Amino acid sequence: MPHPAQRFTRKRVAAATGAAALAATALTAGAIGFGAGPASAGENHSGTATPIKHVVVIFQENVSFDHYFATYPQAANTPGEAQQGTGTAAASFTAAKNTPKDINTLATAGLLAPNNPNAVQPARLSPMQAVTCDQDHGYTAEQKAYNGGAMDQFVQFTSRDSCGTNQYGRPGLTMDYYDGNTVTGIWNYAQNYAMSDNHFSTVFGPSTPGALNLVSGQTHGATEYTAAGQPVATPAAGSSTVRQPDANGVGTVINDPDPVYDDCSNNSHAKTNNLAGMTGRNIGDLLSAKGTSWGWFQGGFTPTTAATGTTPASCLSSHTNAAGASVVDYSPHHQPFQYYASTANPHHLAPASDAEIGHNGQANHQYDLTAFNKVVNTDNMPAVSFLKAGMYQDGHAAYSDPVDEQNFITNTVNQIQNSKNWENTAVVLAYDDSDGWYDHAVAKVKNSSNSADDAAWCQTAAASGIPMASGYADRCGPGPRQPLVVISPYAKKNYVDHTQTDQASILRFIEDNWHTGQIGDASADATAGPVNAMFNFDRQRTDKVLLNEQTGAVASITKTEDGNNSGHDDGGNNRGSNSGE
């Protein structure tokens, strides 16, 4: 448990830092960044730039694009396979005939065995191998794996091949991938809605940088604190909490320090770990300034022990994953708004009433996942909702897995599709980092860095003249490629977008749709590519595809009135599919 005085220390730090941040940072009016989007994007949609009135971001953990889509849309369909944990028969997968052919997968790139340049060849993971070792996904390790863009050093720098009980491992595990017999649900969403094959981490590195980039496009602006919440004036050389600090001790986050404005930080870790706090604005600040409802909803956020006058809250609820391991639900370093004084709910207070959800109040827009369930089918569903699964269902290797993750995603999407709000909602399925899993695609560096934390990939970019935004080091990116899927009545059907995007592209869509302006201070939102190609805002689909929440197979399809299940008119990719059935 954190130091008894931590509650009061954090409160003082929050008040001082929050006031300074709000005074020092002005809203920056940005141009609406829909690029070459449809004409209707500029029409009057009663306060939004598009017909989308609700965005739900399901933000999962640690998956590279090739790890889930290496052979898409071809699955092995091996007879007799079953899911780890339940023994449920794995679903088969057959793609629609009109599935696009020009998808940048490992298979289409010709890099499956025996043609891969890495030291170990890629291999398929079965549904019985759902829980695996966690890979090395450090900021520097991932850059080294790139080997100057050759993409052939993953085994040497990111592969972790042996681990705990009931976790699958083998030499060169980082190279391995699942197919539509394990990640059936995500493949079926891609078949029936829209996906990207050119979406990347904003920067290299693990969960916290990815989460911060989602909500602010910024990993600079971090201050280090002791485990008791006291500011560290001069971070120690080599500190893992804040890197490259300036004369005021403000630097960049490249690792996973817990947030200072959270009683539950260090609950599940060593009690002496230093913490981090962020200055500047995030999307929550911008939405609140516009009077737009929003919230972050995370599994396990409700305390198991409530805060008192002398004792901080504790968050130690748990669930069992597919390997039978007990996993604590709440991870503080997966909760980006808890790093900011202005948007934190340090004591994990519940909303005073259901009517408060999404609005100002004692919970300060930070909630348990159960709060979303209360409002999803009501007029009080927030305009913007970020959903974070409990750790056993978030997809992170070692403690989670694709089977448990699929259960969460399909259950959540089914719930939204069956709600009164589905007709104007966009669900965005995205990930915080790649976990170090191999992916063959490489994006040209947009933001360079040449610190001691950077390998040749980023240092060479800096030497060649690629700018380092505002001189903030350790924000090199884009990093590895990740899945991105959009599920919406306005999503194109069986469509693959090739526009280069990153995590800050989701932030930029929210900013533009609700006219919030941009973050400023060299946030990645200013240069993030648009996600709009995955939508057709001129035509609302009336079909919806519900999936089996255990297997990910298609459970039901509601047809359109004309019977063609049509979502858009781009080259015939709008006909029905029997995928997963």
**Does 561 score more than 90 pLDDT?**
no
* Confidence (pLDDT) at 433: 98
If you write DSSP's letter for every residue of 282-297 in order, what string do you get? Answer: -HHHHHHHHT--EEEE
Here the tokens at position 343 are 């948007």
Looking at per-residue confidence, does 234 or 357 come out higher? 357
Percent of the chain scoring above 70 in pLDDT: 88
Whether 65 and 438 have beta carbons less than 8 Å apart is answered as: no
* Any domain includes 522: yes
CA distances from 5 to 11, 305, 312 (A): 10, 17, 9
Instruction: Check pLDDT > 80 for residue 40.
Output: no
Say which residues have a Cβ less than 8 Å from residue 558's Cβ, sequence separation at least 6.
Answer: 542, 543, 544, 545
Instruction: Identify the band that residue 10 occupies on the pLDDT scale cut at 50, 70 and 90.
Output: very low
The pLDDT value given to residue 474: 97
| pLDDT digits 0-9 by tens, 103-147 | 999 999 999 999 999 999 999 999 999 999 999 999 999 999 999
Q: b/e per residue, 540-572, with b = 16+ CB within 10 A?
A: ebebbbebbbbbbbbbeeeeeeeeebbbbeeee
Three-state DSSP at 405 gives helix
In whole angstroms, what is the distance from residue 389 CA to residue 257 CA?
19
Which has more pLDDT, 46 or 437?
437
As beta bridge partners, residue 477 has 447
* Antiparallel, parallel or unpaired: β 250-252 and 220-225: antiparallel
| pLDDT, position 45 | 62
Furthest CA-CA distance within the chain: 67
The neighbouring-strand residues paired with 368 are 298
**Cα distance between residue 85 and residue 320, in whole Å:** 10
Tally of domains within the chain: 1
- Give the pLDDT confidence score for residue 190 in this predicted structure: 98
Write the pLDDT tens digit of every residue in 502-540. 999 999 999 999 999 999 999 999 999 999 999 999 999
Of 550, 527, 21, 544, nearest to 261 (Cα)?
Answer: 21
CA-to-CA distance for 491 and 514, rounded, in angstroms? 19
CA-closest candidate to residue 151, choices 464, 481, 497, 463 = 481
Phi-psi region of 172 (alpha: psi -120 to 50; beta: other; left: phi over 0): left
**Residue 268 belongs to some domain of the structure:** yes
Task: Taking residues 377-405, report their average pLDDT.
Answer: 98
Residue 565 inside a domain? The answer is no
pLDDT at 24 over 70: no
Q: Higher-confidence residue: 447 or 309?
A: 447
Predicted local confidence at residue 13, as pLDDT: 39
What's 507's domain CATH number? 3.40.720.10
Q: What is the pLDDT of residues 57-98, one digit of tens each?
A: 999 999 999 999 999 999 999 999 999 999 999 999 999 999
Element (H, E) at 414: helix 402-417
Phi, psi of 79 (to 5 degrees): -60, 145
Please state the φ and ψ torsions of residue 32, each to the nearest 5 degrees: -65, 120
Is the predicted pLDDT of residue 19 greater than 50, yes or no?
no
- How far is the C-alpha of 417 from the C-alpha of 419, rounded, in Å? 5
Mean pLDDT, residues 2-28 taken together: 35
Is residue 571, in this structure, part of any structural domain at all? Answer: no
Calpha distance 528→521 (Å, rounded)? 14
On whether the CB atoms of residues 179 and 480 are closer than 8 A, the answer is no
In a domain, 390, yes or no: yes
Whether 572 maps to a domain, the answer reads no
In a domain, 360, yes or no: yes
Distance, in Å, from the CA atom of 179 to the CA atom of 31, rounded to the nearest integer, reads 40
pLDDT, mean over the chain: 90
Q: What average pLDDT does this structure show over 287-301?
A: 98
* Residue 571 pLDDT: 32
Half-sphere exposure of 273 (CA within 13 A, CB side): 22
In a domain, 489, yes or no: yes
Instruction: Output the CA angle 59-60-62, nearest 5 degrees.
Output: 135
The SS3 call for residue 484 is strand
The more confidently predicted of residues 490 and 310 is 490
- 517: which residues sit within 8 A by CB, 6+ positions away? 27, 28, 29, 30, 286, 511
User: Residue 47's domain spans which residues?
Assistant: 6-558
Q: Confidence class of residue 320 from pLDDT cuts 50, 70 and 90?
A: very high
551 backbone dihedrals φ, ψ, rounded to 5°: -100, -20
Provide the pLDDT confidence category of residue 22 given band limits of 50, 70 and 90: very low
* CA pair distance 318, 328, nearest whole angstrom: 4
Cβ partners under 8 Å of residue 261, min gap 6 = 10, 13, 14, 277, 338, 339, 340, 341, 344, 346
Query: Which amino acid is located at 435 in the chain?
Result: D
Q: What is the pLDDT of residue 46?
A: 65
Region 449-459 average pLDDT: 96
User: By percentage, how much of the chain surpasses pLDDT 90?
Assistant: 84
